[in-house]
A = this chain, B = another copy of it.
C-alpha cells in the first residue's frame, strides 16, 4: 500500500480543497471546451465532420507502475497510456477525464501529480492543447488512476487494427525494449548509470507519437503496451493475416545496447516487453519515407504481412525462433498472481 502522506510529508488535502486545486490548475485552454471542471459534467463542442475516439485505461500502483513511483511520473504515465491509444487510432487527442483514488493526498503530492499530467499533455505532439475537463476523487487503499481520453479524427478515417494486407510492411516507431529494461534497472535507480536512467525514463515517461500522421499512409495501427508480439498479434488476428518479423531488425536505443549487450536477451525484451507505447503499423513499403517524415520520429521496417496466418520470428541467420523462447507474449491482469 502506498502511503502518500508518509512518503510526501504535508497536510492532508480534503476533497473540496483537491477539487479547488484541480480547477485552479486545470483551466480550459481549448475554445471547444465549453464547460470544464466544476459542473455535473463537461460540455465539449465536437469538430464538425469528425468522429470522436474514446478510450479508457486504469493504472494501479504496484501493478502498472512501481509503488514508489513519483507523483509526477504517475500523472505523466496515466495520461500517456491513454494518449497513446488515441494516437493508435490516428486521432488528435482533445479532452481527458481523470479519476483519482488514493488513501490520502498531500497538497505537494497533488501538485506534482498535476505537473506530471500537464507535462504529458505538452509532450504529446498535437496541433492543439489537450484539456483535462473533469474527473472524480475518491479514497481507497491502493492508488488507482482511471483516465478516459477523447480524440477527434476526420469522419470515417480512424485507423483500425483490421486493415493489414499481405505484402505490406510492418514497422515500428522509435525503439523497443527500453521500458522493459528500465523496469529491470528500477531497483538500482538511486545509483543508476546514465544509460540506465535513460531506460527508466522511457518506462516512466514514454514518448508520445503523432497519431494523426498515420491517416492516408498506414493501413492498420496499434500501440505497443503489452509487448510487440502480443500487440502485433492483435492486428494480424483482426486482419485475418499472418506475418514474419526479423528480430535483428527490431530498433534499439544506444542505452539498451549498453545495458543489455547480449543480443538474444535484448531481443527478448524488445519482442515481449511491454510499456514501450511505440506505434506498430502496417503500410505499403513505399509509404515509409513520407510516413516517417510526417511522424517526425524513426520508423523502422521489421517484417512483412503474409497470407499465411500466425506470427513467425526469424533470427539474424534467417532461422525461425520458437515463440516460447522469447517468453510469454503479453499480459493477463487477472492471470497474474
Q: Interface on A for B, CB 8 Å cutoff? A: 12-16, 18, 34-35, 38-46, 48, 50-58, 60, 63-64, 85-86, 88-89, 91, 95, 97-99, 101, 104-105, 133-142, 144, 146, 148-151, 153, 155-156, 158, 160-161, 221-223, 238, 331-336
Q: Which listed residue (B137, B139, B332) contacts A63, Cβ 8 A?
A: B139
Q: Take A13-B334, A34-B51, A52-B46 as given contacts and tell me if A58 and B138 are in contact as well, using a CB distance cutoff of 8 Å.
A: yes
Q: Take A39-B161, A58-B136, A89-B40 as given contacts and tell me if A97 and B332 are in contact as well, using a CB distance cutoff of 8 Å.
A: no
A278 vs chain B, min Cβ distance (A):
13
| CA of A140 to CA of B161, assembled, Å | 29
Contacts of A334 in B (CB 8 A): 12-15, 18, 104-105, 137, 139
Q: Which residue of B lies closest to A160 (CB)?
A: B39
A55 vs chain B, min Cβ distance (A):
4
Listed by A's residue number, 19 A-B pairs whose Cβ atoms lie within 8 Å are A13-B334, A34-B51, A34-B156, A35-B160, A40-B222, A40-B223, A41-B88, A41-B151, A42-B54, A43-B153, A54-B150, A56-B134, A58-B101, A60-B138, A99-B146, A139-B333, A140-B142, A141-B142, A144-B144
A158 lies within 8 A of B43 (CB): yes
Contacts of A18 in B (CB 8 A): 334
Q: Given A39-B160, A56-B98, output 14 extra A-B contacts at Cβ < 8 Å.
A: A15-B332, A15-B333, A34-B158, A42-B55, A43-B153, A56-B99, A56-B135, A58-B138, A97-B148, A101-B144, A105-B334, A139-B333, A140-B144, A141-B141
Contacts of A97 in B (CB 8 A): 54-56, 148
Contacts of A44 in B (CB 8 A): 51-54
Contacts of A48 in B (CB 8 A): 48
A332 lies within 8 A of B16 (CB): yes
Q: Which listed residue (B51, B133, B156, B223) contacts A54, Cβ 8 A?
A: B133
| CA of A148 to CA of B134, assembled, Å | 10
